[in-house]
Structure 1
């Protein structure tokens, strides 16, 4: 199995880079069990990382309780479709953060 080729295909399908994917695929091939992450968890972490914000600051930005954000990041609950849409926008257009900040401080 060509792990690099599979990883590139998965990332192409996802539309963004997935850090640690090659290592995870190698572990899977060896039969090592690991944690699973939902696409929503990965998208949330990617969007938050692109903003460079802490959980509290990001939660404030999207007007969500930090406990809810943590639940989403840890996979206890999934964000709504509207939040997923917002996360895609933030992830693909991090400059929109400035506009969100202005709206939240108005």
Structure 2
């Protein structure tokens, strides 16, 4: 056994993992623990309101799926025209679906 793994084994032998898990659950139920906030981009919001997959939404907008992923993950910003279309899609998803399906 390596020196490091032996030290880890000795440390872990003294732990009560079940008790640690129960304590963590108590902290979470009491409102403790770490909290994360996720910022949803306008592109993601528009796609979700339309109920489309990334591939389908990208095809509908006439952009690559990779470009849409970059917008959704905040790596790139949509152009002015794309931003306007995304705002309309968020405000009136049924209208956008109807208009773009007919095009």
Tell me the TM-score range normalised by the shorter chain: 0.5 to 0.7
2:21 aligns with none
- What is aligned with 1:68? 67
The equivalent of 1:101 in structure 2 is 101
2:60 equivalent to 1:45 = no
Aligned to 1:78: 77
Identify the range of structure 1 (44-53 vs 93-102) with the bigger mean alpha-carbon deviation. 93-102
Residue correspondences, number: 71
Are the equivalent residues in 1 in contact too, given 2:46–2:87 (CA < 8 A)? yes
Larger Rg: 2
Q: TM-score, normalised by structure 2?
A: 0.60
Q: Which runs of 5+ in 1 are unaligned?
A: 1-31
State the Cα deviation string for residues 56-90 of structure 1 (Å, max 9, x = none).
Answer: 00001111111100111111111111111100111
Asked whether the 8 Å contact 2:43–2:86 carries over to 1, the reply is yes
Cα displacement (A) at 1:34 = 5.7
Taking the TM superposition and a 5 Å limit, the aligned residue runs for 1:16-27 are none
TM-score (norm 1): 0.58
2:93 alignment partner, SS class = coil
Gaps of 5+ in 2: 1-33
Rounded to whole Å, the distance in 2 between the matches of 1:77 and 1:51 is 21
